[in-house]
């Protein structure tokens, strides 16, 4: 270590960052003793820092283990990566809207709800879309359920614990929600009638980050045409969305997309 690094070092901060960086690679969590062993420290050396990180909301106790909370995830949404996600997604979404003749939006998790961060309207004469900046429900929407489905269990439980219903959000039975999330993981996407607008069918596909968890959803409020216009079917639109979500996932740095056939 050079003189400047030694002079300006902050041992307590380094200790806290070491703990956070270690837990990134252990989604199942680590006990205090395991943390100490992995870091080459005693439990006494890290105890106060672990308590402080938990108090500040960066860590969550799960029995005798500690896991990362979603606070870092939430903070990241206020920073450049979200703008990067949106700027990367918009060209794909624009092309997708032209091919599918439907509207699309991109959603992320934010403090117990779901935030729409980007949207592209259908190029057709009519369509259905949601405004950017709108907060929608976590448990009663396809977007929210996809975000929940593709998380590790501790993160999913915390998201549900922090859940803040939006206006008009319908209550969802916890047991039914568990079954729905399992089906979403099985199929790799969510397809369900809208619980807000009659006649709309919501399709949602996950966009994965580098850690392999969903960081966003690509969603379409699908409107079925009943005239003779030669437009893609819902299944065809779903395949287009999967390809777009897979491309966006790769651009976000994760090169393996969810393969429902292997689950």
Domains of the chain, residue spans: 3-68, 74-262
Beta bridge partners of 202: 192, 221
| Between residues 74 and 82, the one the model is more confident about | 82
Cβ-based burial of 233 (10 A; exposed 0-12, middle 13-18, buried ≥19): exposed
Other C-beta atoms lying within 10 Å of the C-beta of residue 259 = 8
pLDDT, tens digit (0-9, with 9 covering 90-100), for 186-196: 999 999 998 88
Distance (Å, whole) CA 149 – CA 245: 16
Q: CATH number of the domain at 3-68, please? A: 1.10.10.10
Q: Is pLDDT above 60 for 3?
A: no
Q: Which CATH class is domain 74-262?
A: alpha beta
Query: Are the folds of 3-68 and 74-262 the same?
Result: no
> Token match 């003189």: residue?
3
Q: In this predicted model, what pLDDT tens digit does every residue of 116-142 receive, in sequence order?
A: 999 999 888 777 878 888 889 999 999
pTM > 0.75: yes or no: no
pLDDT tens-digit map of 218-261: 999 998 888 877 888 999 999 999 999 999 999 887 776 766 65
């Amino acid at each position: 270590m050079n003189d400047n690094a030694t002079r300006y070092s902050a041992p307590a901060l380094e200790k806290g960052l070491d703990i956070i960086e270690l837990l990134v690679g252990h989604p199942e969590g680590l006990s205090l003793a395991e943390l100490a062993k992995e870091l080459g420290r005693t439990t006494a050396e890290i105890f106060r820092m672990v308590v402080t990180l938990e108090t500040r909301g960066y860590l969550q106790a799960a029995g005798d283990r500690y896991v990362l909370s979603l606070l870092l995830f939430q903070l990241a949404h206020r920073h450049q990566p979200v703008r990067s996600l949106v700027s990367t997604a918009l060209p794909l979404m624009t092309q997708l809207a032209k091919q599918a003749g439907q509207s699309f939006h991109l959603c992320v998790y934010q403090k117990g709800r779901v935030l729409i961060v980007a949207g592209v309207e259908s190029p057709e004469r009519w369509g259905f879309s949601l405004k950017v900046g709108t907060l929608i429900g976590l448990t009663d929407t396809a977007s929210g359920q996809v975000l929940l489905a593709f998380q590790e269990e501790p993160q999913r439980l915390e998201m549900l614990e922090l859940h803040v219903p939006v206006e008009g959000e319908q209550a969802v039975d916890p047991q039914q929600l568990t079954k729905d999330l399992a089906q979403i993981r099985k199929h790799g996407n969510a397809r369900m009638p809208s619980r807000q607008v009659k006649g709309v069918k919501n399709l949602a596909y996950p966009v994965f980050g580098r850690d392999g968890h969903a960081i966003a959803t690509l969603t379409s409020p699908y409107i079925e045409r009943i005239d003779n216009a030669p437009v893609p079917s819902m299944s065809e639109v779903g395949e287009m969305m999967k390809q777009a979500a897979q491309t966006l996932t790769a651009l976000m740095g994760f090169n393996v997309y969810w393969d429902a056939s292997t689950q």
